[in-house]
Structure 1
């Protein structure tokens, strides 16, 4: 089996999930007490990251994503499912159409298509409607119960490769491809036959040139 792996944030969709989720939450006037508490914590981390006081970009991203699961804890299952469907609908205008077309081409070329992200799996599931064969995200539940900020294990960098190999133990990565925009996905792009730096950030662009990765603009 050969895979075509698509990163989510900044690649398949031209947004970052965490601020988008918080913005939608506020627009829909969900539990504002929870919102204010978590948003204050998020902004404190952001300031520490910007001031380089014990926080780097990777640490901030991981913790920010983990924090979003605690937003969802204030909703019952029906409310949560509705919110996640709304999230999918609101993200539609931000889908990069060139990659949506590429998704169709890859499927016609015999690739098993996968949407891969550190975002939570329950946020990605609606994107199966886009035509993806599978989605892989950070596990959000255990034994039917929603995990919390303290118990989730955000997949990033090499953990994404581990997740792919665990889900598809018989996949041939030497015949597979991947698309991503961030330096943090460099290990994935180097793991497959064809790694595409899609509208790469500055750091990935530099490494793409160094490692001879293909650039997809």
Structure 2
């Protein structure tokens, strides 16, 4: 009977020891797995933290880039507004320049006409006219202007005709002034008018030419190839 109890106790103790061993082994295995899992969790946490840091850095970079782009957009808008206003100013200035250019073109055309009228080839003719008006002879004018003789002679004839026309106008004005004198002067001048006809002065050819009408000078100009508004030109 005692032996049966011993065997039963031994079996129970053995079973308990085996169970304890299984529990110990499972605890060790579980602890190791927990340690490994903790290490994996730490690694995952570190990687997640690194990923979060990198994401935050990228987000900050993107935020900085977005702010820079916004500043650039604002600067571009301001530049566009400035360019628009500048373009309008340029258009206004271009209109003013076009108006000034048109006025300048008109002035240039007028100056061209004046230059053509007072060109180099007309300078000798102008000088010849001035010298003839001063009373120089044809030979002296030819020597000073180097113009052909026929041109100087033509200018001299025109100058003489002009002088005759001027003398005729002066004589006509003097005659008109004499006609407007008071009748008392005419009565006083009557005895002098009743003098013999032999005392009447004879008209010279120069005086007769001086009383010629202005039409004669125009005909003379046309005879020499000169109109009322045309000037002398040197033959080319």
For the criterion TM > 0.5, the same-fold answer is no
**TM-score with structure 2 setting the length:** 0.20
* Structure ID, larger Rg: 2
**Structure with greater proportional strand content:** 1
Report which of the two has the higher share of helix: 2
